[in-house]
Amino acid sequence: MDPGLRDSSYSAMKTDDDSMLRKVNVRRTLFYGLIGAILFCIPTFFFIYSADYNQSWLLYIGAFLFMIVAWYQTIEDSSKRRNSESTISLVFASHVTTIAGIFIACIICFLLLVILVPGYLSFGTAGKVLKDAPGNNLAAHTRGLSGHVFFAATIFNFSVGSFAGIVLPFYMKWNQTKDSKEPAPLHQSGSK
């Protein structure tokens, strides 16, 4: 392969990826990620405080609140761009916000566990463990309390954030005929 051709296709690919990242507003992304993480962590606080398996529904409420923030961010992002932005760009921006929110939620959940569970960072069984957990639950440091919290903070939030980030941009943009046929984040120039 001609080295000049390889360099030009790489620079074209890099330009496409850079333009996609330039469309992400970092301050708004971090703001909505923080709001979603805080709203997720409010019911999570009560779940950790009670440490009762029967209160696991609180984690679902937190994920639902996280999804509402993801929906609102996607709607606002679409309206700020006057519904003229490509659908794939909106999907990409929504997923970046979702990942930022998950990262912030995991940090806040870790701090909540350190504060509310005595002996969380020490060896052996912690001072607070998950009560009424089924027999097949994790028999770890907190008997599954931290496992449930971090599973919800990552998997639940990514699921609902991705759902909002994929469904809503396609629903919001009625005329998608002007979108590029090749999605920008997946498009590699010179690969035809």
pLDDT at 21 over 80: no
Distance between CA 128 and CA 115 in Å, rounded?
A: 11
| pLDDT, averaged across the chain | 80
Q: What value does the mean pLDDT take over residues 149-173?
A: 89
Least confident of 12-21, 95-104, 111-120: 12-21
Token pair in block for residue 81: 């761009």
Please tell me whether residue 52 adopts helix, strand or coil conformation: strand
Identity of the residue numbered 192: K
Least confident of 3-17, 33-47, 95-109: 3-17
pLDDT band per the 50, 70, 90 thresholds, residue 95: very high
Please tell me whether residue 1 adopts helix, strand or coil conformation: coil
> Each residue of 72-90: pLDDT tens digit?
998 888 777 666 667 788 8
Token pair in block for residue 169: 């941009």
Distance between CA 86 and CA 54 in Å, rounded?
A: 44
Token pair in block for residue 96: 């970046």
The DSSP output letter for 156 is: I
What pLDDT is stored for residue 192 in this prediction?
47
pLDDT at 133 over 80: no
> Each residue of 52-64: pLDDT tens digit?
999 999 999 999 9
Q: What value does the mean pLDDT take over residues 106-131?
A: 86
> Each residue of 40-53: pLDDT tens digit?
999 999 999 998 99
